[in-house]
Amino acid sequence: MPTPEPQAKPRLPSGHLPRLAPEWYRSTAVVFWTHTIARRRIGWLDTTFHATFRELLLHAAVREQLLCPIYTLMPDHLHLIWMGIDENSDQRRATSFLREQLKPCLAPGRWQHQPYDHVLRDEERKRGAFASTCLYIAENPTRAGLVTHASEWAFTGCIVPGYPTLHPLATDFWEKFWRIYAAAVTRGEIGKIGANPAL
């Protein structure tokens, strides 16, 4: 799919982040999302939240035909990357769904008004550059001094429907992931990703 030309960004009220046109978040777009808790409130991140997050991320992925090669939950924010695999994939819809469904789990905390997003360009989507971006996300807990090694952080993972044991820090992850991604884009149906055990 050809990369759309950026459109002029309208002036937005104070407190709103600029947004690209909706088509930048559709189809096979790859977007790095950051969701922050208002006033950087902590206390919501635990194993129960993590399990609920994974379940809802899976639902969002299936609804909008997305793969999530990495996410990292931090004490006051979270990062994730979504990759569309179908012409009908829509990451803005997926984001609204995920935030709305997770809202009760954050109480009495709440989301900051708007997530930050970065749509990856062609150069950033090349395999080596993309893997480096994902590693950067995984290293967040290390840079924050929460763990010594990224692999020690319990709140990093991925959501690839049909492959519940995949982990972005496993040595064979990228070899497997790119095969799954290529097959998914070719078929354009996330519901059939797990149908071929040979992948």
Q: What is the pLDDT of residue 198?
A: 40
Q: Which residues pair with 84 in a beta bridge?
A: 66
- Residue 58 neighbours by CB under 8 Å, 6+ apart: 159, 161
Which of 86-95, 151-160, 185-194 is predicted least confidently? Answer: 185-194
Distance of CA 197 to the CA centre of its chain: 24
User: Mutual orientation of helices 127-138 and 173-187 as an angle, nearest 10°?
Assistant: 120
CA–CA distance, 55 with 67 (Å, rounded to integer): 14
Q: Which residue has the higher pLDDT, 122 or 6?
A: 122
pLDDT tens digits, one per residue of 178-194? 999 999 998 865 545 44
Q: How far apart are the first and last CA of the chain?
A: 24
CA–CA distance, 151 with 154 (Å, rounded to integer): 8
Percent of the chain predicted with pLDDT > 90: 82
Total-model pTM: 0.85
Query: Within 10 A of 49 (CB to CB), how many other CB atoms are there?
Result: 16
Instruction: Give yes or no for residue 106 having a pLDDT over 70.
Output: yes
Q: For 22-190, CATH number? A: 3.30.70.1290
DSSP 17-83: -----GGGGBTT-EEEEEEEBGGG--S--SHHHHHHHHHHHHHHHHHHTEEEEEEEE-SSEEEEEEE
- What is the side-by-side order of every strand in the sheet holding 30-36? 116-119, 30-36, 77-84, 66-73, 156-159
Hey, what's the torsion of the CAs at 7, 11, 17, 20, to 10 degrees?
Answer: -10
- Residue 128 neighbours by CB under 8 Å, 6+ apart: none
Q: What is the pLDDT of residue 26?
A: 96
- Residue 137 neighbours by CB under 8 Å, 6+ apart: 32, 70, 71, 72, 79, 80, 81, 156
CA–CA distance, 29 with 119 (Å, rounded to integer): 7
**Domain boundaries along the sequence of the chain:** 22-190
Instruction: Give yes or no for residue 164 having a pLDDT over 90.
Output: yes
- Alpha-carbon Rg for the chain, nearest whole angstrom, is 16
Instruction: Give yes or no for residue 134 having a pLDDT over 70.
Output: yes
Instruction: Give yes or no for residue 165 having a pLDDT over 60.
Output: yes
Q: What is the pLDDT of residue 190?
A: 52
- Of the pLDDT bands very low, low, confident and very high (cuts 50, 70, 90), residue 19 is confident
Percent of the chain predicted with pLDDT > 70: 85
pLDDT tens digits, one per residue of 37-89? 999 999 999 999 999 999 999 999 999 999 999 999 999 999 999 999 999 99
